[in-house]
């Protein structure tokens, strides 16, 4: 797959180099990536500096090289914060067995490991080590953990090694790594130009001046979906109920409180949307009448009449010429049965289901995707990783639907 430099221009890559003979290949990797229009910032471990000099990478990339957690080049910020916030991706090549062990177990005792642990972007590694180190149970365990954490592993290859032995452990060829980076960055354009409307968080339905009804939702999944869609190049409008989260840097952020406010916000924006993703946990009921003053406590029972809230997703999905609609179902029992019924009732091309007791407030969850092709299980992972998987699936369904429409 060949991708021109213009496809990935202005992308920012943190290139991590750990200790290993294969570090000499990374110099050529840095040169080629820079030629492809990628802004390469090199981070070297202490061991890496014993194999290659920082001046080499500085000359090839035109950027300063960072080597020390405590002696950074950042003028106003700590390097591990500043660099990780500005990166579109991190690639570690070569990734030694020692460094892989650090990543898998959350250890951060040098600048590169701190950057990887504190990152807010995809991470890719290119292992390189002796064949016996590669085959050891410890390395296999560590790699398994990294795969669960959505770290992309490129290579290694089989061949002659610096120690004279032959087997698995050679770092992937530079051309393969360049292509892997280009493909990863190309994913940023899959939804380029598309408008996506996302709802997130709970709604709050007032009973009186101080009390109300709400759903137990942190908003984390909805915000993660918005962020993942941003990474794929879409223009995002995020409509959110009350949360304690800082919203991602979407094109438009609308804060609402009640279900009716959310409905009105959705109706005002949905005509511009290509895709509508309803993640919000909207309260099913609201008080029939809201007391303007605080209800005083009494020993007698209090009866509150509740009336159903509007079904925002169904309002959109059953309207004339709706956008591509994606719904979420949080269930406490009979997950697949209840989710399938909800999908059919609301005429959704895709419904995302999860167990409420496992997902609410957590940073991880397991998802089941239900579409016309059946069931797709996304094993438990961090919500941002799940959101990226989900957005990739949404893109594939949306793209297929559009192509079918064009044929007809």
Catalytic residues, by residue number, are 163
Burial class (CB in 10 A: 0-12, 13-18, 19+), 37: middle
| 94: preceding bond cis by omega (within 30 degrees) | yes
**What's the sign of the alpha-carbon dihedral 38, 176, 398, 353?**
negative
- Contact by Cβ (8 Å): 251, 237: yes
- Determine the Cα–Cα distance for residues 343 and 177; give it in Å rounded to an integer: 41
Q: CB within 8 A of 164, min separation 6: which ones?
A: none
31 beta partners: none
Length of the chain in terms of residues written: 408
First-to-last alpha carbon distance for the chain, in angstroms, is 30
Distance CA 352, CA 317 (A): 15
Q: Are 115 and 83 spatial neighbours (Cβ–Cβ below 8 Å)?
A: yes
Distance CA 380, CA 364 (A): 6
């Amino acid at each position: 797959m060949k991708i021109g430099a213009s496809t990935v221009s202005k992308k920012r890559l943190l290139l991590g180099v750990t200790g290993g003979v294969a570090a000499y290949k990374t110099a050529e990797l840095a040169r080629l990536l820079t030629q492809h229009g990628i802004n390469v910032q090199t981070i070297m471990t202490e061991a890496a500096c014993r194999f290659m000099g920082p001046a080499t990478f500085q000359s090839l990339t035109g950027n300063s090289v960072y080597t020390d957690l405590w002696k950074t080049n950042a003028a106003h910020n700590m390097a591990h914060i500043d660099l990780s916030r500005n990166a579109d991706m991190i690639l570690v090549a070569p990734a030694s067995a020692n460094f892989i062990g650090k990543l898998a177990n959350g250890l951060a005792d040098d600048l590169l490991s701190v950057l990887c642990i504190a990152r807010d972007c995809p991470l890719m590694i290119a292992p390189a080590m002796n064949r016996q180190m590669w085959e050891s149970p410890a390395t296999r365990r560590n790699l398994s953990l990294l795969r669960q954490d959505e770290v992309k592993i490129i290579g290694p290859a089989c061949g002659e090694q610096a120690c004279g032995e032959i087997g698995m452990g050679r770092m992937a060829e530079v051309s393969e790594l360049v292509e892997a980076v280009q493909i990863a960055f190309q994913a940023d354009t899959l939804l380029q130009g598309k408008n996506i409307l996302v709802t997130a968080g709970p709604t709050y339905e007032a009973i009186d001046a101080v009390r109300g009804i709400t759903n137990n939702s942190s908003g984390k999944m909805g915000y993660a979906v918005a962020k993942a869609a941003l990474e794929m190049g879409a223009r995002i409008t995020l409509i959110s109920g009350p949360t304690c989260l800082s919203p991602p840097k979407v094109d438009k952020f609308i804060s609402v409180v009640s279900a009716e406010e959310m409905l009105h916000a959705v109706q005002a924006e949905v005509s511009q949307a290509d895709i509508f993703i309803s993640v919000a946990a909207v309260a099913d009921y609201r008080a029939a009448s809201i007391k303007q003053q605080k209800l005083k406590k009494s020993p007698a029972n209090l009866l509150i009449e509740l009336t159903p809230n509007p079904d925002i997703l169904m309002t959109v999905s059953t309207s004339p010429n709706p956008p591509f609609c994606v719904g979420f179902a949080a269930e406490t029992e009979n997950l697949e049965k209840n989710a399938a019924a909800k999908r059919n009732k609301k005429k959704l091309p895709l419904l995302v289901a999860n167990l409420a007791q496992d997902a609410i407030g957590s940073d991880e969850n397991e998802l089941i995707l239900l579409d016309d092709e059946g069931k797709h299980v996304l094993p438990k992972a961090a919500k941002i990783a799940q959101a990226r998987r989900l957005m990739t699936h949404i893109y594939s369904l949306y793209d297929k639907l559009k192509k079918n429409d064009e044929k007809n």
